[in-house]
Structure 1
Amino acid sequence: SNQVHQSPASLYKNQGKSAKMVCSHSISGYDRVLWYKQSNYREFVFLGYMIGTSGFPEAGFVIEGDANAGGTSTLTINQLTPNSSAVYYSQLIHVDSPDTVP
């Protein structure tokens, strides 16, 4: 069955430390992973994306790994602040879909 996994389910770290989370999937034809966080104010903040094995993070983040099926995309938050406390989401995009990334 087609699966998308994001882990860990929850993460607790001290300020100033770094945090990593991963998104993996087994859906062929999908090679793009987008990362977002949802803050306490409910808005979504775009953190960057990965196409294949190339990461394009926003400042303060690292995105590395492999967005293809069977691979793992890792989001690293370099220095945690109180503002880092949020729900984080990864999204898959199909190779053939219109380009939604600026």
Structure 2
Amino acid sequence: MSERSFYVYILASHVGGTLYIGVTNDLIRRVAEHRSQMSDSFTKRYGVARLVYFEVFEQIEHAIHREKRLKKWQRAWKITLIEKDNPNWIDLYPQIAGV
């Protein structure tokens, strides 16, 4: 993963569970923050810590635009997007973080 990359990601509480969409320039760090549940937040409240989907962008403007569009999508469309590449909702964090 490049330092000049930006990421739009989707976290889930479990298969078919609560979804959270975010954007970051450091996917590993950001997902680790969600997983640690250190601060009171949406992800802590709903147990959303499983990285089930992400996209990579070279420009922050494109990543932010994509995040905003995904947040407006119907839930069924988001689930279809996740299941296209990750049908079993496997947690991708260990794979990208090397843990």
TM-score by length of 1: 0.34
TM-score by length of 2: 0.34
Q: Which protein is bigger by CA-based radius of gyration?
A: 1
